[in-house]
A and B are shown apart, each in its own frame.
Chain A
Amino acid sequence: MRISVTVNGKTYEHDVEPRTLLVHYIRETVGLTGTNIGCDTSSCGACTLHINGESVKSCTMLAVQADGTDILTIEGLARDGQLHPMQEAFRQNHGLQCGYCTPGMVMAAVSLLKENPHPTEAEVREGLEGNLCRCTGYHNIVKSVLAAADAGVPA
């Protein structure tokens, strides 16, 4: 099937097998490998990106379902060599160690603050339930998101 997708502002047209997952399309065909695969049960959230402004686990979607949509991946977050304030907050607060969960975690966190700009700690923890991390124990991830909220993200 032929699909047309805009990713980080650039439009792509490809023929894809109907069974191709969106995450595989993004990684292998579009060639953006920042979005990661961490499981096969849509549990871990490493594949989180934004479609038409909403966070989506791209492993639970077929590429053909993304036809005509506007996708933002982790690679599209930083602008002109400047980290997005959420990325900066993660850096300032040591919210990452191995970095594998980080793209999905950052995308989920951006989406969380868009819906709830001033969450409590409990709301941050619940809001990130769909994103697993094995390195940080979440303490500094939560701290990063709260710091980003204090800094006015989304601005």
Chain B
Amino acid sequence: MKTNVLDAEGLRRTINRLSHEIVEKNKGVQDVVLVGITTRGEYLAHRIAKKIAEIENKNVPVGVLDITLYRDDLRGRLDQPILKSTKILFDIRGKIVVLIDDVLFTGRTIRSALNALMDIGRPAMIQLLVLIDRGHRELPIKADFVGKNVPTSHGEEVKVSMSETDDEDAIYLIENGRKEKKQ
């Protein structure tokens, strides 16, 4: 059972709104940097940067963060997660880092990302932006910018497709019957 939560148009408008929110909350984009969590967080970050450039006529730096080394579930998995690359080519010291991910679920991914960012540098502030907040937090993590709140049950899966890597831009809610751990 597959329900469309957001279609391509919806996604475009949401990204538009989120980009405006970032600029508004930070009263501009001075010292703002975007860090997307691999994989889809990265594509989101680039799209938002593009939109911000349209709005403010300024280029905001974009970095990619792979949190595999910081996962709290590295051991005890049957398969080892593939290690991807972190690319943050600018100094994050003193910056406002907008951490970007597609789905916020238990909050463990964000916890890992926070630890990774702290090991890379000392930002002035970290703000969290997520496209979808599906509830069921297991850690005290809260997003500053939310694209859409989608209440879910554990048996459901939120599937985000982005045309950079999937067939289309769309977000689906899928009923599974088995608990999917989203990381």
Partners in one complex: no
